[in-house]
Amino acid sequence: MIKLTQARKEELEKELDQLITEGRKQIAEEIKTAREFGDLSENAEYDEAKNKQAIMEARITEIEDVLKEAEVVKVTDVKGNKVAIGTKVTVRDEEHKEEVTYTIVGATEANPFEGKISDESPVGKALIGAKKGDKRTVITPAGENTLEVLKIEK
C-alpha cells in the first residue's frame, strides 16, 4: 500500500494523462522524423528518440503502479489533534534552537527541500501520533535530537 494525499494523487493522474496523450504523440513524431534520416543502425536521432520513448513508458508504468496501490489519506480522517499524514506540524528543534515546519506525507511524495517529509523517515516516524506539547526524540544519521510539537494544522 502506498499512502498519498489527494493533491499528490491528482498530480500523478494529471502527469499520467499528459504522458499518455501528448507525450506519446510527441515521441511518435520524433521517431517518425528520425526514421526519415535514413539508415537506422547509425541514426543517433532515432536512437535518442527510442531512448526517450523507453524512459517515458517506464514512467507511465511507474505512475500506473503507484495509482493502483495508492490509498488516499484524507486529512479529515485525522482523529483529534495528532500528527498524521497530511498534517502540517511546527516543531522546536532543541539542538539547533529553531522552529521548523514539516508537512507529513507518504514516501512517494516526500521532498525535504519543500518541507515535505515521509511518515517513514526518522523524523516522520517520531512525530506520527504526537500532540501539541509532546516532545519526541529522533535518532538520525547526524545523531540524537529532541523535537517539541508546537502546532499541528490540517
Q: Is the pLDDT of residue 139 over 60?
A: yes
User: Phi-psi category of 115—alpha, beta or left, where left has phi over 0 and alpha has psi -120 to 50?
Assistant: left
The arrangement of secondary structure in 75-153, i.e. its CATH architecture, is Roll (3.10)
What is the DSSP-derived secondary structure letter of residue 99?
E
Nearest to 51 by CA among 107, 79, 43: 43
Q: What is the pTM of this model?
A: 0.69
pLDDT in the model for residue 50:
92
In whole angstroms, what is the distance from residue 78 CA to residue 24 CA? 40
Q: What is the pLDDT of residues 20-73, one digit of tens each?
A: 999 999 999 999 998 887 777 778 888 899 999 999 999 999 999 999 999 888
| Beta carbons within 8 Å of 144's beta carbon, 6+ residues apart | 137, 138
Q: Which residues pair with 101 in a beta bridge?
A: 90
Please, what CATH class does the domain formed by 2-72 belong to? mainly alpha
Residue type, 70: A
Q: What is the pLDDT of residues 119-130, one digit of tens each?
A: 999 999 999 999
Domain boundaries for CATH 3.10.50.30 within the chain: 75-153
Domain boundaries for CATH 1.10.287.180 within the chain: 2-72
